[in-house]
Amino acid sequence: MNNVKIADFEVGPGNPLLLLAGPCVLEGYERSLYIGKRTKEIADRLGIPYVFKASFDKANRSSYKGFRGPGLKEGLAILKKIKEELNVPVISDVHTEEQVGPAAKVLDVIQIPAFLCRQTDLLYAAAKTGKTVNVKKGQFMAPGDMKNVIDKIKSAGNERIMLTERGVSFGYNNLVVDMRAFPIMRSFGYPVIFDATHSVQLPGAGGTCSAGNSEYVEYLTRAAVGAGVDGLFMEVHDNPKEALSDGPNMVRLDDLAGILEDALAIHEITKKHF
């Protein structure tokens, strides 16, 4: 297993669980900073390495009218300020090859969205930056298919790779997490992250937006940590009902510490197996 270095910590066996968390999309500087600050306080108290996450552009909203975020230029400026203010690494998605260069100047981890995880040129461009590349497994893909994704990134000379599981499509507007995916993908030799909040999303179930069942996040998190993951991805918000994207599947900041405390307790028991 290859440990992956992000800022001053490593992800993988023998290391603490990683937390990638923040709002789904940047909601301006002040509110995004507030969410990141509270999340960092929780992570610091629990001894969890923390990466702030938020999208500068949600290019795959259900509706054309859905809020997409501040865009590349303003969004990267906000992420840079949060990175400096909180002294934490940052992660965000890229959707086109043209976004990769500017994003790499700010981001510590470049994320490839689930719907784009097979886009060879996008994967290659992200890998060529030398940054850690986190690839969300498409909900249309089997875990074994991610070996080809890894090979595309490695072909660019980059082995700073993480894979993220976010469920598989099960009928219409529903996702299900197959716990076998974690050992299968970890067998490829790179850290695996569990996306605890998108896994309870109901894509498109709200008509012009996605719905979700955030009440199940804690259960899936405990199961995934028991199955052996190297980190957790969570979208968090101080008031999910006011969130501009993905509110129904977000974790309330007030509930975050309890979920993480349980995850750490399980990780302490199971880490010897992974």
CA distance 263 to 226: 8
Closest CA relative to residue 27, chosen from 61, 50, 55: 55
Question: How many distinct structural domains can be found in the chain?
Answer: 1
pLDDT of residue 61: 64
Any residues with CB less than 8 A from the CB of 37 and at least 6 apart, and which?
85, 86
Q: What is the pTM of this model?
A: 0.96
pLDDT of residue 205: 75
Inter-CA distances, 34 with 19, 38, 209, Å: 17, 6, 25
**CATH number of the structural domain spanning residue 248:** 3.20.20.70
pLDDT of residue 60: 77
CA distance 216 to 131: 33
| Owning domain of residue 30 | 4-273
Q: Residue 172 is encoded by which pair of tokens?
A: 């219409």
pLDDT of residue 93: 97
Closest CA relative to residue 119, chosen from 144, 103, 141, 102: 141
Burial 53-92 (b: 16+ CB within 10 A, else e): bbbbbbeebeeeeeebbbebeebbebbeebbeebebbbbb
The phi and psi torsions of 25 (rounded to 5 degrees) equal -130, 150
Distance from chain centroid for Cα 111: 8
Q: Residue 200 is encoded by which pair of tokens?
A: 């309870």
pLDDT by residue for the chain (274 residues), tens digit each? 899 999 999 999 999 999 999 999 999 999 999 999 999 999 999 999 999 999 999 777 667 776 788 999 999 999 999 999 999 999 999 999 999 999 999 999 999 999 999 999 999 999 999 999 999 999 999 999 999 999 999 999 999 999 999 999 999 989 999 999 999 999 999 999 999 999 999 888 778 778 889 999 999 999 999 999 999 999 999 999 999 988 899 999 999 999 999 999 999 999 888 8
